[in-house]
Structure 1
Amino acid sequence: MKALKSYTIPFVGLKEGMHHFDFQIDNTFFQHFEYDEFNAIDVKIDLEFEKKSTLLELYFSAKGSVNVNCDISNEPYNQAINDDFKLVVKFGNEYNDENEDILIVQHGEYEINIAQYIYELIILAVPIKRIHPGIEDGSLQTDILSKLEELSPSEDHKVKSSEDIDPRWNNLKKLLTDK
């Protein structure tokens, strides 16, 4: 985890007030987490770090794109990422990260590592079902989609006439009308 040291912010030396940090996220960042569902990543994280006398407020903003495979056609495409996250860091007797919006660190801590929060922000910004934009507008032409169309049930459902119905059913219909 020494490679993620660049995502550690030593807040003890910072003056009270607003501070800005920028991080450029690429594939090497996700290799440290052993996450390989992205083909390519180009996301910029803007962090507004506000130091107050009793707590810290962190405002994360992620903008960029990740290249992922479509869940339907398995074709790669660029998925736009645009998400925000606010984290409040308080000081207490023991470390506690059970609440997703509030982090409690022990008194005497002098730095905070934000790599896990950046990781979760990007992962959660990607939709659960990833659909290529070409599928939604009908412009994508692949072998997989043509095979899916070939195997899908036809929409020309033939309406059965009374001649096509099994005569045994006609006898049962009489029971309904013979009341």
Structure 2
Amino acid sequence: MKPLKAFIIPFVGLKIGKHLFEYKIEQTFFEHFEYEEFNDVNININVELEKKTTLLELHFKVSGWVNVNCDLTNEPYNQSIENEFDLVVNFGDEYNDEHIDILIVPHGTYEINIQQYIYELVVLAVPTKRVHPGVEDGTLHSDILKKLEELSPKLKEDKEKEDIDPRWNTLKKLLTDK
């Protein structure tokens, strides 16, 4: 996979201090990763890079929405997302990304590619169970929801009232008599 040029930050020419990078992510970004879970995307990403003499500190802040399908009704809806992540870039003998929040790049590296971190931040910000807000508050009217209500099992209490053999009632009394 080719790196996207917009997400490569050349840090060699930057002065020591804080620098802000802003990105607007759309559906084409996820098509580059061949990720097809989102119908549409509108995300703003702020990356604050603090350059120090021996290392770099990056603070990612993600906010926006992704259009996904509901797990219950398969209706599309906009899921708002927010996420933050801190990354420390240190210099060493060889490239090492074994740690989640520490990246070691070889001495002489002059740029850093942040597209993978942005991709993971957005994907991990989406809840694992996606439920349309209309399902939760009862405003969504869907054929699938009606069918789910018809096929849902009755509550246990209702079944017990219907199916209890009267002989069991006397046995239950024995449990309470101590």
The TM-score normalised by the length of structure 2 is 0.89
- Cα deviation, residue 159, structure 1: 3.5
Structure 2 partner of 1:85: 85
- SS of the residue corresponding to residue 81 of structure 2 reads strand
What whole-Å deviation, never above 9, does each CA across 1:59-109 have from its counterpart, x for those lacking one? 000010000001111111110011100000000001000101000000000
Q: Distance in 2 between matches of 1:53 and 1:68?
A: 43
- Structure of greater Rg: 1
Structure 2 partner of 1:74: 74
Structure 2 partner of 1:51: 51
More displaced, 3-12 or 97-106? 3-12
What whole-Å deviation, never above 9, does each CA across 1:125-176 have from its counterpart, x for those lacking one? 001111111111111110111000011123332334545x6xxx8xxx7xx9
Q: Distance in 1 between matches of 2:165 and 2:121?
A: 60
Can you give the 5+ residue segments of structure 1 that lack an aligned partner in the other structure? none
Aligned pair count reads: 169
Structure 2 partner of 1:159: 162
Q: CA RMSD in A?
A: 1.9
- SS of the residue corresponding to residue 123 of structure 1 reads helix
CA pair 12-162 structure 1, distance change in 2 beyond 3 A:
closer
Q: Report 1:27-176 matches (<5 A).
A: 27-155=27-155, 156-157=158-159, 158-162=161-165
Percent identity, please: 63
What whole-Å deviation, never above 9, does each CA across 1:19-68 have from its counterpart, x for those lacking one? 00000000000011000100000000001010000000000000100000
- SS of the residue corresponding to residue 148 of structure 1 reads helix
Can you give the 5+ residue segments of structure 2 that lack an aligned partner in the other structure? none
More displaced, 120-129 or 134-143? 134-143
